[in-house]
Amino acid sequence: MSPRRFLPALTPGHRLAAVVLAITVLALVPAAQAARRVLAVDDLFALARVREARISPDGERVAYTVSTSDFDQDRTETALWLVPTAAHGNGAHGNGGAWRATAPGYSASHPRWSPDGRRLAFLAAKKTGDQSAQTEVWAFDLRGGDAQPLTAVPQGVDSFEWSPDGSRLLLTITDAKPEDLLDEAERARKKPEPYVIDRLQFKFDNAGYLDRRRSHLYIFDLESQELRQITSGDFDDSQASFSPDGTLVVFSSNRTAEPDGNDNSDLWIVSAASTDQGQTLRRLTQNPGPDTMPVWSPDGKHIAYLTSIEPELLWYATTYLATLDVDRGAPRILTRKLDRNVSAPRFSPDGSVVFFTLEDSGARHLARIDTRGGAITRPVAGERVVAGTSISHDGRIAVVASEPHQPWDVFLAESGALRRLTDTNRALLDTLDLGAVRNIHFPSADGTEIEGFLTLPPGYDAHLRYPTLLRIHGGPTAQYDFGFDFESQLFAAHGYVVVRANPRGSTGYGQDFSKAIFADWGNKDYQDVMAAVDFAIQEGYADPARLGVGGWSYGGILTDHVITKTDRFAAAITGASEVLYVANYGHDHYQLQWEQELGLPWENRQNWERISPFNQVQKIVTPTLIMGGEIDWNVPIQNSEQLYQALKRLGRTTQLVVYPGEHHGLRRLPFQKDRLERYLAWYDRYVKGETPSTTADAVANEATTHSSG
């Protein structure tokens, strides 16, 4: 099916016809069998997550990663797997002859084949003897033998690539902390020291307070074990790769006078033989926006990369595909007329074509364009999402892909279609009765067409109206897509129709659509998500008396706007949200973005206050569950605390749940389970009106019996 393009605003006379034609049934689930059951919370930990497909140089095998969860041990482990490209996804465990290549005990990532295809290297951390684990480069020989570490860097390795002849590794390494150079006993005796901070960007979620340690590039000779630094300075260098002849290295770096004060990363070239730690560099791009993800053409004469040419639009700006001549410069944007975000450029083996991932509406396709420009074609299109593109020397293409009822798996792109190599979760999926997913298009209040998805309860009866949840995605520059969505299926399994909309601010619909909420959160995007609810009611899916709303991150932020503007929802869940925006200045890690979008708070305070839901908090009457991580510096818990305090002072039904030691994304498996159970309990109590009957359900009762979380 050809991709559905974003349509111009609809006139009132066209709306009814557009709505009638909008619904597309994506993939009807096979009729439920007697042995099938609905999805449960614990299935989150039974699902394996497939990522990072890398096809071997000869095209005969694909390496990929599979992450699995051990709930009892509260541990997630990622293993490296191999599957032959002759497989058809129907072997043991649904994996067509795939086999696990790494042993239990450490997590593997970043698989990379040696140029001759005999060895497979990867990143992993494994405790050996009395030495603490650091992430190092490991490799094993496909001809036999266990994996062995190739590097021994005290602070660990961030990323790596092989040299074209396989004799060297290009490493990205972050400068060591003093304690990285101590042995385990000395480290245990070392007393904490104060943080001394002098950077403009001084903190980051998960990383903590930032110092002047930076990431730089190194060449590691496998035979001599020599480690040689080739870049330096008060800058971070990343996304590096060797030229095809192994003499040069291209990388992306923001080397402006104040890298923390802008987003201007450029492409640079340094000699792989450099002995001056990169004092002699050649700058390839002059664009004031970010230039990233450089890849060499096979002949080494050109580089393809990603570029954003309107940095003043921040994350709302479109990311384009560009190429440049390594000797003469002269960048050329190949997708300027496309007005869609692209990612992951890859040259064809003959260098005549650049493949890339294209985000369009609710899909993500594999696309290609001639290096001279021209028409864009899509070798993999349709109602799915693809990622992890890898190309062998003979042009075979491996990807990972997902569809509404199919979690991520490994495929080969052949003749405009996908051929399955793995079916990792088949044993589990065969036991489940999943809800149907429908793609919808509908007009917003001003006529703008909006896309979304409905997930229906298993056994859905069109004669009934169901309790309905509006779930809002994070971002704001993200989108719901055709990929498998566990959370929506879980809600559907509990009898809810789930509405997921891509309001303005979302990606996939062009730059104007995305930037429509610039410095205007909670306005047009609010109209769009409410139009999604109205559509579900109008079409007979939703019971207007039993509505819930919620989301995490920007999904929580927009939820805060929703419940200050309407009392239509019987329950709300706002996770990791902001509500009083000025309170985050100097506290979260978005100072640059806040300043560019709203201005300095002491100069443009009205911008900050105008769009802060906290200033309308007295209008909230919806029972509201508030959640977040204790040490989240992406969206700090203090805003959730302020919202909770205000609602308690106003006498509203509310509860605050804070997960200790957690950042923006919950890491611990018991907390992930707890969050889902609390979601269901809160919605069941206030949307369905059900009396709590289990320990998990009883958490909803706490809102009216405790004065603090």
Ordered alpha helix ranges (H), 159-247: 184-189
Residues of the chain with pLDDT under 70: 1-34, 90-96, 127-132, 693-709
Q: What is the pLDDT of residue 2?
A: 34
End-to-end CA distance of the chain: 50
Q: What is the pLDDT of residue 537?
A: 98
Taking the C-alpha atoms of residue 649 and residue 393, their distance in angstroms, rounded to an integer, is 66
Residues 6+ apart with CB under 8 A from 144: none
Q: What is the pLDDT of residue 91?
A: 45
Under a CB-based contact definition with an 8 Å cutoff, are residues 555 and 485 in contact?
no
Under a CB-based contact definition with an 8 Å cutoff, are residues 569 and 488 in contact?
no
Helix orientation angle between 554-565 and 524-538, rounded to the nearest 10 degrees:
80
Provide φ and ψ at 490, rounded to 5°.
Answer: -65, -45
DSSP collapsed to 3 states, 264-305: CCEEEEEECCCCCCCCCCEECCCCCCCEEEEEECCCCCEEEE
What is the sign, positive or negative, of the torsion defined by CA atoms of 436, 439, 443, 444? positive
**Structure tokens of 378?**
């899509």
Residue 502: CB atoms within 10 A of its CB come to 26
The CATH number of the structural domain formed by 21-34+431-705 is: 3.40.50.1820
Q: What is the pLDDT of residue 189?
A: 80
**Structure tokens of 622?**
């919806």
Q: What is the pLDDT of residue 128?
A: 58
**Structure tokens of 182?**
């101590």
Question: Which of 111, 223, 124 is closest to 166 using CA atoms?
Answer: 223
pLDDT in tens, 578-597: 999 999 999 999 999 999 99
Q: What is the pLDDT of residue 1?
A: 34
This prediction has a pTM of 0.91
Taking the C-alpha atoms of residue 236 and residue 210, their distance in angstroms, rounded to an integer, is 13
Under a CB-based contact definition with an 8 Å cutoff, are residues 6 and 361 in contact?
yes
Q: How far is CA 101 from CA 82, 107, 142, 144, 249, in A?
A: 7, 12, 9, 11, 30
Question: Dihedral, CA atoms, 380, 384, 576, 519, nearest 10 degrees?
Answer: 60
Q: What is the pLDDT of residue 693?
A: 62
Residue 575: CB atoms within 10 A of its CB come to 26
Bond before 457 cis per omega within 30 degrees = no
Under a CB-based contact definition with an 8 Å cutoff, are residues 397 and 366 in contact?
yes
Rounded to a whole number, what is the largest CA-CA distance in the chain?
A: 76
